[in-house]
Amino acid sequence: MKHLISTAALRRDEAILILDTAEDMAAAQEREVKKLPALRGVTVVNLFYEDSTRTRISFEAAEKRLSADVINFAAKGSSVSKGESLKDTAQTLHAIGADAVVIRHPATGAPQMLADRGWIDAPILNAGDGCHEHPTQALLDAFTLRRRLHGAASRGKGLDGAHVVIVGDILHSRVARSNVWLLTTLGARVTLVGPPTLLPAHLSGWPAETGYDLDAALAEGPDAVMLLRIQAERMHDAFFPHTREYARMWGLTEARLRALPESTSIMHPGPMNRGLEIASAAADSPRSTVLEQVANGVSVRMAALYLLCSGVKEGR
């Protein structure tokens, strides 16, 4: 594995290696001195062409805890606003000695392009590209769910037999895509639920069941319900009549929360639209893993960076 671009390309053994390494990283974070020397002398550039809170901060925390030198680049305020291309930006990063690049970009395929074109010879980690993939989000979601299901005995395990219902704006969601591939690779069964307008027209290649009826999906008592953010910034049409209608039909309301088994985890990648896809009672309930997901993101990103970048010093 040289890059981390997509979960569709991850084998089960590779995914479990990342999750198990993340367990080691999480254990190291329990110690008084959290910093590890693993990436001392390695320069990691965080290249963010789109806004982010969780992913950007947790990648930076992960890099610093591995003792890497960190350069943060945000497209806003850079020469991208003067028209500089991705190629020229990548070559500039190469010239300043970047050893690894974390990239978030609004265009599908931008991380793959960086990996393929030879503008920079460095591991590329996809921090979210357009509506395509967000692999570290899916890995931290799988890590969180694996811990909820298996606790201290998680190591070496997949998610065999687990049932995950993913609800909402599947059409625009890179989180949904990455989760469908990874969860099924790890042995879980996935059901996608949302309004017909927000389910992609061509789902035949996806290893998931689909439906429009949230109550029917929840009546099965899934192990986890993952609510997706309604991505208003990617919607150029009216995909549902009104937010009230959306919340009534596809939101995790307080009444739906009460009807779920106590063991069902409530997941959301954030940022949340409270009162739309998720009621505050659900977001803040003990069953919610929202903040666990954020915390686990640091361990999972430390694992991915460690596995991809610890060899770059020897390779120089």
Q: At what angle do helices 290-309 and 135-150 cross, to 10 degrees?
A: 120
Q: Kindly state the smallest distance separating residue 193's Cβ from ligand CP, in Å.
A: 20
Question: In 3D, which of 3, 22, 7 has the Cα closest to residue 156?
Answer: 22
Ramachandran class of 97: left when φ > 0, alpha when ψ lies in -120 to 50, beta otherwise: left
Q: Kindly state the smallest distance separating residue 261's Cβ from ligand CP, in Å.
A: 26
21 makes contact with ligand CP (CB under 6 A)? no
Residue choice 41, 97, 221, 271 for contact with ligand CP (CB under 6 A): 271
234 makes contact with ligand CP (CB under 6 A)? no
55 makes contact with ligand CP (CB under 6 A)? yes
In the region spanning residues 109 to 168, those forming contacts with ligand CP, defined by CB under 6 A, are 128, 134, 137
52 makes contact with ligand CP (CB under 6 A)? yes
97 makes contact with ligand CP (CB under 6 A)? no
178 makes contact with ligand CP (CB under 6 A)? no
Name residues whose C-beta falls within 8 Å of residue 268's C-beta, 6 or more positions apart in sequence: 226, 227, 228, 229, 277, 278, 283, 288, 290, 293
311 makes contact with ligand CP (CB under 6 A)? no
53 makes contact with ligand CP (CB under 6 A)? yes
54 makes contact with ligand CP (CB under 6 A)? yes
Q: How many CA atoms lie within 13 A of 224 on its CB side?
A: 29
Q: Kindly state the smallest distance separating residue 131's Cβ from ligand CP, in Å.
A: 13
Number of residues that bind ligand CP (CB under 6 A): 10
Q: In this chain, which stretch among 32-40, 113-121, 243-251, 268-276 interacts with ligand CP, using CB under 6 A?
A: 268-276
What are the backbone angles phi and psi of residue 43, rounded to the nearest 5°?
-100, 120
Cβ atoms of 163 and 225 within 8 Å: the answer is no
270 makes contact with ligand CP (CB under 6 A)? yes
269 makes contact with ligand CP (CB under 6 A)? yes
Integer Cα distance of 293 and 283 in angstroms: 12
Q: Kindly state the smallest distance separating residue 302's Cβ from ligand CP, in Å.
A: 16
Q: In this chain, which stretch among 93-101, 108-116, 186-194, 265-273 interacts with ligand CP, using CB under 6 A?
A: 265-273
Tokens in use for 223? 């192990």
- Residue 207, classed as helix, strand or coil, is coil
Cβ atoms of 45 and 100 within 8 Å: the answer is yes
Q: Kindly state the smallest distance separating residue 74's Cβ from ligand CP, in Å.
A: 13
Residue whose CB is nearest to ligand CP in the complex, by number: 55
Name residues whose C-beta falls within 8 Å of residue 232's C-beta, 6 or more positions apart in sequence: none
CB atoms under 10 Å from CB of 24, counted, come to 15
- Contacts with ligand CP, residue ranges (CB under 6 A): 52-55, 128, 134, 137, 269-271
